[in-house]
Amino acid sequence: MTGLQMAFAIVLTILAIILIVVISLQKNREANASGITGSSSAEMNDSNFFDKTGAHAKDDTLAKSTKILGVIFMAVALACVLCILFVK
C-alpha cells in the first residue's frame, strides 16, 4: 500500500466516523409521522413554538451537513479508486 493510498484510507475512515455521528444526531423522522397515523405525541403538546423552530433549524443544519459529507465521502472514495487504478 502506497503512502497516497494510506492517506486516502485514513481520510475515508475519518469521514465515515463523522458521517455516522452526524446521522446519529438527527431526529427520528418516524416520530414526526405520528400525526399522519392518528396517534398523539405528548412531546409535541408540551413544547412551545420557539422550541420547534430551534429544533427545526438544527435538523436542517444536520441534514445539510449529511448531504455535504456524503458528497465529499463519495468524491474521496472515487479519487481513491482512480488512484489505485492509475497510479502505480
Q: How far does Cα 38 stand from its chain's mean position?
A: 29
Q: Does the pLDDT at position 40 exceed 60?
A: no
Q: Cell numbers for 18, please give them.
A: 463523522
Assigned domain for 65 exists: yes
Q: How far does Cα 60 stand from its chain's mean position?
A: 11
Range 33-39 contact pairs with CB under 8 angstroms and sequence separation of 24 or more: none
Assigned domain for 30 exists: no
Q: Does the pLDDT at position 44 exceed 90?
A: no
Assigned domain for 39 exists: no
The residue segments making up the domain with residue 54 are: 3-23+46-86
Assigned domain for 28 exists: no
12-38 pLDDT tens trace: 999 999 999 999 998 876 665 555 555
**According to the model, what pLDDT value does residue 56 have?**
80
Assigned domain for 79 exists: yes
Q: Does the pLDDT at position 49 exceed 60?
A: no
Of the candidates 32, 19, 12, which has an alpha carbon nearest to the alpha carbon of residue 81? 12
76-86 pLDDT tens trace: 999 999 988 98
Record the pTM: 0.68
Q: How many domains does the chain have?
A: 1
